[in-house]
Amino acid sequence: MQSTPPREAVIEVRGLRNQFGPQVVHDDLNLDVWRGEVLGIVGGSGTGKSVLLRTIVGLNSPAAGSIKVLGVDVVNGSEEDRQSVERRWGVAFQDGALFSSLSVLQNVEAPMREHLKLSENLMSALGQLKISLVGLQPLACGKMPSELSGGMRKRAALARALALDPEIVFLDEPTAGLDPIGAAAYDELIGELQHALGLTVFMVTHDLDSLYAICDRVAVLAEKRVYAEGPIEMMPEVDHPWIQEYFTGPRARAAQTKTETKTDTASLES
Ligand SMILES: Nc1ncnc2c1ncn2[C@@H]1O[C@H](COP(=O)(O)OP(=O)(O)OP(=O)(O)O)[C@@H](O)[C@H]1O
Over the stretch 145-196, which tens digit does the pLDDT of each residue have? Answer: 999 888 888 889 999 999 999 999 999 987 887 788 888 888 888 888 888 8
- d(CA 161, CA 169) in angstroms, rounded, equals 7
Residue 263 included in any domain: no
Q: Report phi then psi at 24, rounded to 5.
A: -90, 120
pLDDT at 47 over 80: yes
Residue 202 included in any domain: yes
Residue 131 included in any domain: yes
pLDDT at 252: 73
What pLDDT band is residue 267 in, cutting at 50, 70 and 90? low
- What is the distance in A from the centroid of ligand 1 to the CA of 129? 35
- What is the distance in A from the centroid of ligand 1 to the CA of 48? 5
- d(CA 8, CA 5) in angstroms, rounded, equals 9
Whole-complex ipTM: 0.97
What is the number of domains present in the chain? 2
Question: Domain end: 117, 135, 165, which one?
Answer: 165
Is 33 in the same domain as 152?
no
Is 80 in the same domain as 104?
no
Q: Kindly report the pTM of this predicted structure.
A: 0.90
Quote the radius of gyration of the chain (alpha carbons, Å): 19
Is 116 in the same domain as 153?
yes
Give the tens place of pLDDT for each residue, 108-142.
999 999 888 888 899 999 999 999 988 888 988 99
Residue 203 included in any domain: yes
Atom from ligand 1 closest to the CA of residue 48: 18
Residue 246 included in any domain: no
Is 15 in the same domain as 84?
yes
Is 157 in the same domain as 63?
no
Is 110 in the same domain as 41?
no
For a mutational test of ligand 1's pocket, the pick from 23, 24, 42, 51, i.e. the residue with the most ligand atoms closer than 8 A to its C-beta, is 51
Report the pocket of ligand 1 as residue ranges, CB < 6 Å.
20, 25, 43, 45-51
Q: For position 202, which CATH number holds?
A: 3.40.50.300
Residue 149 included in any domain: yes
Is 12 in the same domain as 81?
yes
Question: Domain end: 146, 165, 184, which one?
Answer: 165
Burial class (CB in 10 A: 0-12, 13-18, 19+), 21: exposed
- d(CA 127, CA 131) in angstroms, rounded, equals 6
Conformation bin of residue 206: beta by default, left when phi > 0, alpha when psi is -120 to 50: alpha
Q: Average model confidence (pLDDT) for the chain?
A: 89
Q: Which domain holds residue 158?
A: 97-165
